[in-house]
Amino acid sequence: MSGGEEQRAEFGTVATWTAEVVGELGDEYAIVAGCRGSGDPGLLEWLARSCGVGPGVSLVDVGAGVGGASAWAAEKYGVRPVLVEPMEDACRAERRIFGRTPICATGDRLPFGEGAFDVAWCIGVLCTVHDKLALLRELRRVLRPGGSVGLLVLVAEPGLHSELPRGNEFPSLDELGDLLGQTGLSIRELREAPGGGEPAEWRQKAEHVDELLAKAHGDDPRWLEAEEQSSRLAHLLTSRQLTRRLVHAVKS
Ligand SMILES: C[S@@+](CC[C@H](N)C(=O)[O-])C[C@H]1O[C@@H](n2cnc3c(N)ncnc32)[C@H](O)[C@@H]1O
């Protein structure tokens, strides 16, 4: 299984628990809980606008997690995304939270024909994958000519020295540019993701979800492991050893 054993707690077990919490709190918590991985409205808005997401546009969300970003795009932009996610627990959680059936597959072997989509999203996934070129090549293959890729990538800054979350390999900005160039994806825009600008209601809901997860599973070693991963990541981001980059690139 890609994503690695060490990420099973973070992307699998916690996904199952997240679905349980949404069941308890109600559907109005679904998108916020589903975006717990990496998405927030500011960066999703940027990705949707840059990639021209809208009704009638075909979108594949690769490494969709429990599907929060896709559900946000469906609600806000009237698109009907296809979701791909390798972690079976996350796929089950997605079905439970949003009633959608994701395709359980890794991004380096997508079960679609060439040129099947107008837009491919890959949000917070590239840094969890070793063979980044294989993933990017597949994203490009399933896009129609001129189609858009929207990425959120955590990029290693030159002073990176602290301990990394297990199973992650963060590219430098130069490496990211090289990877996209080798893939035949032309960068239209690459910018730092806005930080901490989510609306108060979104933040409060996210905090509520976290509180319930900690209350129900705070003593579980898998929760502690996932929390350890999150706090390493948070430290790397606040100390700017890592930065969050948004990319809009086009199949040339
Ligand atoms: C940080 S989470 C982001 C989830 C979601 N995109 C979001 O923004 O909430 C990374 C996701 O990538 C998935 N993943 C790991 N390896 C993958 C691969 N080879 N192909 C596709 N997805 C992968 C993980 O299972 C996990 O759901």
Whether ligand 1 lies within 6 angstroms of the CB of 81 is answered as no
Whether ligand 1 lies within 6 angstroms of the CB of 12 is answered as no
Q: How far is CA 224 from CA 64, 103, 206, 235, in A?
A: 23, 29, 18, 16
One-letter amino acid at 231 equals S
Each residue's pLDDT tens digit, 157-204: 998 998 888 889 999 999 999 999 999 999 999 999 987 778 999 999
Each residue's pLDDT tens digit, 37-47: 677 899 999 99
Q: Model's pTM, two decimal places?
A: 0.95
Whether ligand 1 lies within 6 angstroms of the CB of 125 is answered as yes
- Residue 72's domain comprises 5-251
Q: How many domains does the chain have?
A: 1
Nearest to 8 by CA among 223, 220, 218, 207: 223
Residue nearest to atom 2 of ligand 1 (CA): 37
Q: Which of 11-15, 23-27, 74-78 has the lowest mean pLDDT?
A: 11-15
Whether ligand 1 lies within 6 angstroms of the CB of 3 is answered as yes
Residue nearest to atom 10 of ligand 1 (CA): 125
Mean pLDDT of 126-153: 97
CB 222 within 8 A of CB 7: no
Residue 62, helix vs strand vs coil: strand
Mean pLDDT of 115-131: 97
How much is the mean pLDDT over the chain?
94
What is the Cα–Cα distance from 162 to 97, expressed in whole angstroms? 35
pLDDT band for position 4 (50/70/90)?
A: low
Whether ligand 1 lies within 6 angstroms of the CB of 213 is answered as no
Crossing angle of the two packed helices 41-50 and 68-77, in degrees rounded to 10:
60
Q: Measured in angstroms, how far is the CA atom of residue 192 from the centroid of ligand 1? A: 20
pLDDT band for position 1 (50/70/90)?
A: very low
Q: Is the dihedral of CA 81, 82, 85, 91 positive or negative?
A: positive
Q: Which of 33-42, 126-135, 233-242 has the lowest mean pLDDT?
A: 33-42
Supply the pLDDT for residue 6. Answer: 62
Q: Measured in angstroms, how far is the CA atom of residue 63 from the centroid of ligand 1? A: 4
Whether ligand 1 lies within 6 angstroms of the CB of 102 is answered as no
Pocket-testing residue among 35, 123, 125, 132, ligand 1, by greatest number of atoms within 8 A of Cβ: 125
Whether ligand 1 lies within 6 angstroms of the CB of 94 is answered as no
Whether ligand 1 lies within 6 angstroms of the CB of 11 is answered as yes
Supply the pLDDT for residue 194. Answer: 83
Supply the pLDDT for residue 3. Answer: 43
Supply the pLDDT for residue 2. Answer: 39
The residue with greater pLDDT, 1 or 146, is 146
What is the Cα–Cα distance from 248 to 227, expressed in whole angstroms? 30
Q: Measured in angstroms, how far is the CA atom of residue 125 from the centroid of ligand 1? A: 5
Q: Measured in angstroms, how far is the CA atom of residue 7 from the centroid of ligand 1? A: 10
pLDDT band for position 36 (50/70/90)?
A: confident
CATH of the domain at 162: 3.40.50.150
What is the position in ligand 1's atom list of the atom closest to the CA of 35? 9
Mean pLDDT of 11-29: 95
